[in-house]
Structure 1
Amino acid sequence: MPKDAEEPRTRMPRLRKPVARDGAEIWELVRRCKPLDENSMYCNLVQAEHFRDTCVLAEDPDTGALLGWISGHLIPGTGALFVWQVAVSPEGRGQGLGCRMLAELVSRPECGSAQEMCTTITRDNQASWALFRRFARDIGGTLSEAPHFERDAHFDGRHATEHLVTISLPAESSAKRAA
């Protein structure tokens, strides 16, 4: 076996904003990352084009393969950045890529007005709970949570309750991002 095939990846994934042509590959990545809800390919294409400033792609610097994806948007009139999905491919896991993509997202000038980050997580999605708790700890933010979209009231009993997770973003980070 060639020597370089035995060595672990040493180059960090490249983080960038998506473009519309990434839509199909994003859709395939999300499909591989159970238990994430699959959106339509068209949804991912629109996210990549219309919300590119609040989405992040991580790609292998050598092959260009997608290793991670975050979709999000600024909630109008609230000062909140909503993270819709975080997907990390099996090949990208165990490297802190989720936290790195979240940090990239909140560091963008386009997200400078955000005072908090919100997401929703089902109670059984332990990987997402761990990611957002770690991110809150890493940035010195406070994490709170409460049931939000409920199984019976919102999903007609067909989906587990989604808990709204809110992380305060430190003021100094907001000032730095807005500058």
Structure 2
Amino acid sequence: MPNDSDTPRTCMPRLRKPDATDGAAIWALVKSCKPLDENSMYCNLIQADHFRDTCVVAEIDDEVVGWISGHMIPVKQELFVWQVAVSPKARGLGLGRKMLFALIERDGCNDATHLKTTITKGNDASWALFGSFARAIGGALTDAPHFERDTHFEGHHDTEHLVTITLPQREELARVA
């Protein structure tokens, strides 16, 4: 009979709003999810504290295994998703998509008519996640170059394409979620 450490994790992740005490765990998760850009631990702490209504933490057995950072774009009805991180331990559970659904159902995102994010052309996992999410909600997905390699990153980072997904109205969302 296998011991507990040999037993695969089968419990469903718990999704919740982060708080400031999650900053270090979020930072460690992002560091473990190459090639995500690493921010400072302080940045993740501020996101978890100041933007908690538009961020999601996923836990399994009290361990942070998923993270979405986002914010409402000022003066627009658009939710911007900055990062999606899923621990290698939690991959294959559809966790990224579950966190996106949880996020758009939040009261802090009620007014959002569009979800926006940026993705480099080579980030197949992000394209798959956001494409799958758009299909699941019946939303149109468009993209265009936004932050360009030479203009914005001085050649140090690939061009980020602005991805826009049309979100369903709240009533419709309840039917697809």
Q: Which bracket does the TM-score occupy, shorter chain normalised?
A: over 0.9
Equivalent residue number for residue 70 of structure 2: 72
- Aligned Cα RMSD in Å? 1.6
1:123 alignment counterpart: 121
Question: Which residue number corresponds to residue 56 of structure 2?
Answer: 56
2:136 corresponds to which residue? 138
CA distance in 2, matches of 1:30, 1:129: 18
Which residues of 2 match residues 4-23 of structure 1 at below 5 A?
8-23=8-23
Q: Deviations over 1:1-32 (max 9, x none)?
A: 43766654332100000000110110000000
Question: Structure 1 173/149 Cα, relative in aligned 2: closer, same or farther at 3 Å?
Answer: farther
Q: Which residue of 2 aligns with 1:24?
A: 24
Structure 2 residues without counterparts, runs of 5 or longer: none
Q: Is the 8 A contact 1:114 1:174 kept in 2?
A: no
How far apart are 1:109 and its partner, in Å?
Answer: 1.2
Q: Deviations over 1:77-128 (max 9, x none)?
A: 1100000000000001001000000000000111000000000001100000
1:23-172 correspondence to structure 2 within 5 Å: 23-60=23-60, 63-172=61-170
- Pairs aligned (count): 174
* Alignment check: 8 A CA contact 1:145 1:166 kept: yes
Offset, 1:167? 0.3
Q: What TM-score does the superposition give when structure 2 sets the normalisation length? A: 0.93
Q: Percent identity?
A: 64
Unaligned runs of 5+ in 1: none
Q: Secondary structure at the match of 1:36?
A: coil
Deviation (angstroms), 1:172: 3.9
